[in-house]
Amino acid sequence: MSEINQKLRFDGQVALVTGAGRGLGREHALLLASRGCKVVVNDLGAAYDGTGQATGHVADEVVAEIEAAGGTAIANYDSVAEGEAVVAAAISAFGRLDIVVNNAGILTPETWSELTLESWQRTIDINLTGVFSVMKAAWPVLVAQQYGRIVMTASPAMFGAGVAAYAASKAGVVGLANSIQFEARKLKLDIKCNVLVPSANTRMTRDFGEAVNERRESLGKKRVRGAPEEILNRLSPDKVSAMVVWLAHAECNSEASIHEAGGGYFSQLHWARSAPVYATEVEGVTAAPLPEHVQQGLATLADFEHGDMPPSGDGSMGGPSPLARVLDHIKPDKQ
Ligand SMILES: NC(=O)c1ccc[n+]([C@@H]2O[C@H](COP(=O)([O-])OP(=O)(O)OC[C@H]3O[C@@H](n4cnc5c(N)ncnc54)[C@H](O)[C@@H]3O)[C@@H](O)[C@H]2O)c1
């Protein structure tokens, strides 16, 4: 990588970082503040799984760190479930809001077979409805400014994990990000909404690991050995925040893109569509395809080399999409 001469700055801008009292959110807040951004450090001080009483105070510690380094920040202790209150804190302290980093989250440890409706609901309420709540309150501010940068926090768990409620909530955040970007495009506003898929050694991953081991012990099973210290150090949360800060910057034009970050590694994830099987052409456009057409087409459905990568957030499903081609066949003037 070449030498960095000019640093990306955020002077005059205001960022809200939810769940910024510790872990990843804390690092995002510190890095933004070090680049001249005023920061609202939101965190109610929850247990990693959202149970028990909120402890407060963590946000004040991060604010003190930011101020000691010459930055500007305020603490806010409302839950993301109270999005109006969280956003009102930003506006009343700084009079504007340019960046929303939706980072707050909880991880309920139950596997699919153990999952209860209560645990499912608790996870969805914070990880998905909490983002909804904050974004509903922030949206009119961003629209009025005709500008905004939004970062959502998903998880590698969305590809499938033991923690089903968590995985579902994080996959939901991706759909929400795509739709918020779609809305911003429709309004032709300079609002960009992107998704972070982080990996880091934090309180969440440590407490989760301990909960898994306690459960194994209670079932008479051996504890799972954690990763060695040098790996955990490599996965410190400060290795992730550069991606968030880039996605939060005015120069970032990405829209509804999904980026992994962890241990100093970054990548972009994309939808991939295989080459299409046009069973309607076999049977005639009005005939319903048969399951055997799908079976016969399996090799084509595995052929991604001749497929495409539909973009997120523009509502086009990629153009011209195979569905558009099929629908084109049944337009009245084509029959
Ligand atoms: N650590 C990882 O490897 C990892 C991987 C994938 C996704 N994530 C996601 O990254 C985000 C940050 O995770 P972390 O590892 O730093 O976790 P963490 O538990 O260390 O920190 C999360 C913070 O969010 C706060 N919080 C919880 N509920 C809240 C609420 N209702 N309102 C406001 N604040 C609330 C907690 O008090 C805590 O300080 C989460 O959304 C998590 O799901 C983390």
pLDDT digits (tens, 9 = 90+) for 14-43: 999 999 999 999 999 999 999 999 999 999
- 308 in Cβ contact with 301 (< 8 Å): no
Residues in the chain: 335
Strand-pair partners of 18: 42
97 touches 18 (CB < 8 A): no
Q: Which two structure tokens, joined as six digits, stand for 319?
A: 């153009």
What residue ranges of the chain are covered by domains with CATH 3.40.50.720? Answer: 14-269
| 303/12 Cα distance (integer angstroms) | 49
pLDDT band for 289, please (50, 70, 90 cuts). confident
Q: How far is the CA of 118 from the centre of ligand 1 (A)?
A: 19
pLDDT at 327 over 80: no
Q: What is the position in ligand 1's atom list of the atom closest to the CA of 81?
A: 31
Question: If you take atom 42 of ligand 1, which residue's CA is the nearest one?
Answer: 105
Assess whether pLDDT exceeds 70 at residue 256.
yes
Distance separating alpha carbons of residues 10 and 227, to the nearest angstrom:
36
State the pLDDT confidence band at 332, using cuts at 50, 70 and 90: low
Model pLDDT for residues 146-198, shown as the tens digit of each residue: 999 999 999 999 999 889 999 999 999 999 999 999 999 999 999 999 999 99
Look at residue 335 in the predicted model and tell me its pLDDT: 43
Q: Which residue, judged by its Cα, is nearest atom 43 of ligand 1?
A: 105
Testing ligand 1's pocket by substitution, the residue of 26, 31, 41, 43 carrying the most ligand atoms inside 8 A of its CB is 43
Atom of ligand 1 nearest to the CA of 55: 37
Distance from the alpha carbon of residue 104 to the mean position of ligand 1, in angstroms = 5
**Residue 166 appears among annotated catalytic residues:** yes
pTM confidence score: 0.95
Measure the CA–CA gap between 107 and 257, rounded to whole angstroms. Answer: 24
The three-class DSSP label of residue 33 is helix
Mean pLDDT, the chain, rounded, equals 93
Q: Between 79 and 1, where is the model more confident?
A: 79
Under the banding of pLDDT at 50, 70 and 90, the label for residue 90 is: very high
* Catalytic annotation, pick one of 77, 147, 166, 265: 166
Q: Which of 244, 249, 272, 271 is nearest to 259 (CA)?
A: 244
Ligand 1, pocket residues at CB < 6 Å: 18-19, 21-25, 42-46, 48, 50, 58, 79-81, 103-107, 126, 130, 153, 155, 198-200, 202-205
DSSP helix/strand/coil, 28: helix
Using the predicted structure, report yes or no on whether residue 316 has a pLDDT greater than 80.
no
Q: Give 106 Cα–ligand 1 centroid separation in angstroms.
A: 6
What separation in Å is there between the alpha carbon of 163 and the centre of ligand 1? Answer: 15
Mean of the pLDDT values across residues 227-238?
Answer: 93
In the chain, what percentage of residues exceed pLDDT 90?
A: 80
146: left (phi over 0), alpha (psi -120 to 50) or beta: left
The full DSSP string for 83-144 is HHHHHHHHHHHHS---EEEE---------TTT--HHHHHHHHHHHTHHHHHHHHHHHHHHHH
Q: Which atom of ligand 1 is nearest to the CA of 24?
A: 16
Contacts for 97 with CB less than 8 Å, ≥ 6 apart: 14, 15, 16, 87, 90, 91, 138, 141, 142, 145, 148
pLDDT at 106 exceeding the cut of 60 = yes
- Specify the fold of 14-269: Rossmann fold (3.40.50)
Helical axes 164-186 vs 117-127, angle rounded to 10°: 30
Query: Which pLDDT belongs to residue 331?
Result: 61
Q: Is the pLDDT of residue 126 over 70?
A: yes
Q: What does the block give as tokens for 239?
A: 């290795």
The minimum-distance atom of ligand 1 relative to the CA of 107 is 43
Residue whose CA is closest, atom 36 of ligand 1? Answer: 46
SS (H, E, C) 267-332: EEECCCECCCCCHHHHHCCCCCCCHHHHHHCHHHHCCCCCCECCCCCCCCCCCCCHHHHHHHHCCH
Nearest-CA residue for ligand 1 atom 29 is: 104
Average pLDDT over residues 250-275: 96
Q: Residue 46 C-alpha to ligand 1 middle, in angstroms? A: 9
- Whether 130 contacts 104, CB under 8 Å: yes
